[in-house]
Structure 1
Amino acid sequence: MSKYYLAVDIGASSGRHILAHLEDGRMQLEEIHRFPNGMVRRQGHLAWDLIQLFEEIKRGMIKCKEMGKIPESVGIDSWGVDYALIDRDGRRLGEAYGYRDQRTGGADELVYKKISEDQLYARTGIQKQIFNTIYQLAADQTMRPQILEQADAMLMIPDYFHFLLSGVKAQEYTNATTGQLVDPKSRNWDWDLIDRLGYPRRIFQPMTKPGTCIGELLPELQEEIGFNCKIVLPASHDTASAVMAVPSQDSNLLYISSGTWSLMGTELEEANCSPESRAANFTNEGGYNDRFRYLKNIMGLWMIQSVRKEIAPDMSFAEICRLAEKEKIKSLVDANDPRFLTPASMAREVQTACEEKGQEVPQGIGQLASVIYNSLAVCYGRTIQELEAVNGVSYERIHVVGGGANADYLNQLTARATGREVLAGPTEATAIGNILAQMIAADQVEDLQAGRKLIRDSFEIRSYQP
């Protein structure tokens, strides 16, 4: 009889329940439930609707029961940096703000009064993003100090949902590292930094490694959902799970986790917190088995998603790719420019950026997509050069995983711009990595290396030559 494992993978725009089992030496996936997500505006700020998201989590689990496929365990992954504050009785305090909210404007200056930007990178290895947890907490100190004073725990988004399922407050390691408050040497909270910034120690929960079983469903949830199962922490940052699913045995692994963001990097045994690394704007986020995801955040398919929503909402991404491939426009923009983070109009922002450089201004979805795809490929090529210079290694191929692996045109451009073979797939990398951590915890898969081989044998991997 098959043993099932359930991944709840929640992205910034949608979430999904993926059920998996092993059959004839291959991992089999089945999508059970899909639901929308997005930030909502409340009292002038962007926040997450955690109540609705938890209802969707339960709804997907109930569907498993209705299908007669009861999972051995469940694990939840999502984006990083955002959190919920809860009181001593487990009640959420205030909103769980989203990373695109503007409340952190100027919060970096509050932090730099207590520690310099150079020192902060040297001790955390995390690149500056104004929405990092460290800056969000600084904003809380000024905007809602009473809530911070009442808080008994800060839980990252997946940790909060694991708490609602199990009643256990546990801080999963990979997600914690994204916030710029973890010491990469001890792989624990940087308590001296936390004290220096005046953040209350009590809200930071003990660090827990991915693959840890933290308990079972609460009795009232067992009754509501119709079954009991274990709660196993995956690598709960979605990129950490996606990197687990890179189907490679290369010692010098190079990947792009391609989705709303493009996360491009490699794996390191020890963090690289050097001035050269900081100058190139690389980050050292925690990974499975105490590895580091040494990567750069690139704006990614958020730009395409936004333009499509604005001017071609009924067109599929495959159609947009085909139109972009036919265009001859040569204009390029800097895909890492903060101007593309939350523009009022992405289409107009891309056009303005081209206009400012005296380039041809793209018109229509085909030209806009062509400019964005070509700009991303150029950015990938530049990032490889920086990675090789900083780490002193060379990379033979690029593994593209995640939803963006379906973008044939972008994969072709990436191979051309980097001069490397591009291997694309699997597309459901985050859910697969989530499930892999559960299977390893259950001794169904031996270790990460065996898991990556299993993935390579189970899913289609497409090759693109330079």
Structure 2
Amino acid sequence: MSFLAIDLGASSGRAMLGTIQNDRLELREISRFPNPIIEVNGRLYWDLFHLYNQVIGALQEVKSHRLHVTSLGIDTWGVDFVCFGKDGEPLRMPYSYRDPRTFDAPERFFTRISKEKVYQKTGIQIMNFNTLFQLDTLRSEDSSIYPVIDKILFMPDALSYLLTGKMVTEYTIASTSQMLNPYTKQFDKSFLQALQLNDNYFGMQVFPGYKIGNISSSVQRLTGLQDLSVIAVAGHDTASAVLATPAKDENFAYLSSGTWSLMGIESKEPVINDETFTLNFTNEGGADGSIRLLKNICGMWLIEQCKKEWGDKQPVSYEEIVAAAKQSAPFQCFINPDSPCFAAPGSMTTTIQAYCKETNQHIPQTMGEIARCIYESLAFRYKQVLANLQQLATFPIDTLHIIGGGAQNKLLNSFTANAIGKPVIAGPSEATAIGNILLQAKAAGIVNDKQEIRQIVRNSINIDTFEPEDTTLWNSHYSDYLSVYREI
């Protein structure tokens, strides 16, 4: 049987066809496309209809190649949402989480409900762009659409609605909002009341594997397909990716590496206490109902933004960036990847140079020096977060699994193994699409549970293992990183 995964990241999207046969998964790329942030009058938006059109295009490709697909599922990044009116039409293009309007939003909200209570009720890392703060900003700014909102759908649910006409709220994507109680798995009523909302503003809550419906007659006409089911997979891309981790036991941490780096462990229950509050760790929903205890870390966003500047006159590839970093002198300067100054800078390279100047370090000049600074800083940030995770885990963390697009960066993988002093297992790079597809397979009854899913992943991919080297040297420079690490 074959299934179609629509996997939408914060900079690009892809449609991947997965066919399962003899306990192995074969992947075929149907399409790949950009997902640009659109700036209008200083506000940053996602183009919902562009994404919808790309999904339609992928389905048209399926039809033109006469491929039989049982179902499709959509996953996206977290927190962002679309507001719909009573007529079922979107009221405005959705804001991007990188829009600067929410920079001070948490502090404004905490004047009504304390930071401690917000975290205690949700266990979610306090970040200015969380759905809770985005909605409160719409309310406090007297947004023209706020009084006429009928439904609020998270991005994967909004696209599924455009395909089926059915409105749902999928659990894993809702868990990123900072509005969901991880114990009850329901929206917290005190937060909804503070936002002047209630449960009726959201679609029926469903869990991964739920059949939302079949594609509408309009989509059938546009694509030539009929009776195609749309399945609510783990709508949060990290939840789908973590499901596809090729782990053989529970003694591991994962790093979902893309625009964001999300490092965490799987937990049977939420972990919400003074220590996780101080460390600002998050408890998000897992595809199997577990809790993903993790930390959001700024990831390839740093390189992606620099790449745009370096390729302004002549295109530059990621391979060229890695090669230049490899040839540059090690341990010259470091940054805190999660410093707010890197969230949406006018120039990433200039901002990195300014950070190094302000912390009395060597100021990187070349592409290689800046890239090396980023990669080494990320490796040390991973070491820092992994040490905190080990304090919280009830089991020894023996291995770090790196999944997602960043798993292909062998230099960073090697740096990470050296920094953490533990083996790094890299792959699959298409973990999110694989998790998406295998959840559809589970919904179709041909896969039973998480263990079987991970066995299929191990049967189907080649993984790279990076053993730690030069750990004494890396440990000696970790203190240099910490000396210029500025707490947020």
In the superposition, the TM-score normalised over structure 2's length comes to 0.93
1:257-282 deviations in whole A, cap 9, x for unaligned? 00001000111111111110111111
CA distance in 1, matches of 2:394, 2:276: 12
The residue correspondences of 1:80-159 to structure 2 (distance < 5 A) are 80-159=78-157
For the Cα contact (< 8 Å) 2:189–2:198, is it kept in 1? no
Report the equivalent of 1:202.
Answer: 200
> Of 412, 416, 419, which residue of structure 2 is paired with 1:417?
419
CA distance in 2, matches of 1:453, 1:351: 45
CA distance in 1, matches of 2:172, 2:62: 28
Query: What is the deviation of 1:165?
Result: 0.6
Stretches of structure 2 lacking an aligned partner (at least 5 in a row): 469-488
Identity of aligned residues (%): 39
Query: What is the deviation of 1:251?
Result: 1.6
**Residue aligned with 2:293, SS:** strand
- Count of residue pairs brought into register by the alignment: 464
Report the equivalent of 1:300.
Answer: 299
Task: From the superposition, tell whether residues 124 and 147 of structure 1 become closer, same or farther in structure 2 (CA, over 3 Å).
Answer: same
Report the equivalent of 1:237.
Answer: 236
**Residue aligned with 1:22, SS:** strand
Query: What is the deviation of 1:142?
Result: 2.3
Aligned residue identity for 1:204: F
CA distance in 1, matches of 2:108, 2:412: 40
For the Cα contact (< 8 Å) 1:312–1:365, is it kept in 2? no
**Residue aligned with 1:75, SS:** strand
Aligned residue identity for 1:421: P
Stretches of structure 1 lacking an aligned partner (at least 5 in a row): none
Query: What is the deviation of 1:392?
Result: 4.4
Report the equivalent of 1:46.
Answer: 44
Aligned residue identity for 2:457: I
For the Cα contact (< 8 Å) 1:415–1:421, is it kept in 2? yes
1:182-231 deviations in whole A, cap 9, x for unaligned? 00110111123211343344212222101111110111211221112101
Report the equivalent of 1:357.
Answer: 359
Q: Is residue 318 from structure 1 mapped to residue 319 from structure 2 by the alignment?
A: yes
**Residue aligned with 2:335, SS:** coil
CA distance in 2, matches of 1:197, 1:215: 30
CA distance in 1, matches of 2:223, 2:258: 31
Query: What is the deviation of 1:312?
Result: 3.5
Report the equivalent of 2:345.
Answer: 343
For the Cα contact (< 8 Å) 2:168–2:202, is it kept in 1? no
Deviates more, 1:262-271 or 1:313-322: 313-322
The residue correspondences of 1:265-276 to structure 2 (distance < 5 A) are 265-276=264-275
For the Cα contact (< 8 Å) 1:252–1:267, is it kept in 2? no
**Residue aligned with 2:93, SS:** coil
CA distance in 2, matches of 1:385, 1:329: 23
**Residue aligned with 1:52, SS:** helix
Q: Is residue 334 from structure 1 mapped to residue 298 from structure 2 by the alignment?
A: no
For the Cα contact (< 8 Å) 2:171–2:206, is it kept in 1? yes
1:87-146 deviations in whole A, cap 9, x for unaligned? 122111123100000111332233112210011101100011100000000111023444
For the Cα contact (< 8 Å) 1:5–1:71, is it kept in 2? yes
Report the equivalent of 2:284.
Answer: 285
Aligned residue identity for 2:322: C
CA distance in 1, matches of 2:174, 2:22: 36
Report the equivalent of 1:68.
Answer: 66
**Residue aligned with 1:127, SS:** coil
CA distance in 1, matches of 2:200, 2:146: 11
1:331-369 deviations in whole A, cap 9, x for unaligned? 111111111111111101111111111111111110100
Query: What is the deviation of 1:389?
Result: 1.2
Report the equivalent of 1:460.
Answer: 462
Query: What is the deviation of 1:24?
Result: 3.5
Aligned residue identity for 1:214: I
For the Cα contact (< 8 Å) 2:263–2:297, is it kept in 1? yes
Q: State the superposition RMSD in angstroms.
A: 1.2
1:298-318 deviations in whole A, cap 9, x for unaligned? 100110111111113622212
CA distance in 2, matches of 1:447, 1:390: 26
**Residue aligned with 2:145, SS:** helix
CA distance in 1, matches of 2:330, 2:414: 17
For the Cα contact (< 8 Å) 2:187–2:199, is it kept in 1? no
For the Cα contact (< 8 Å) 1:340–1:349, is it kept in 2? yes
Aligned residue identity for 1:75: G
CA distance in 1, matches of 2:343, 2:82: 23
**Residue aligned with 2:70, SS:** strand
Aligned residue identity for 2:267: L
CA distance in 2, matches of 1:205, 1:241: 21
CA distance in 2, matches of 1:326, 1:265: 31
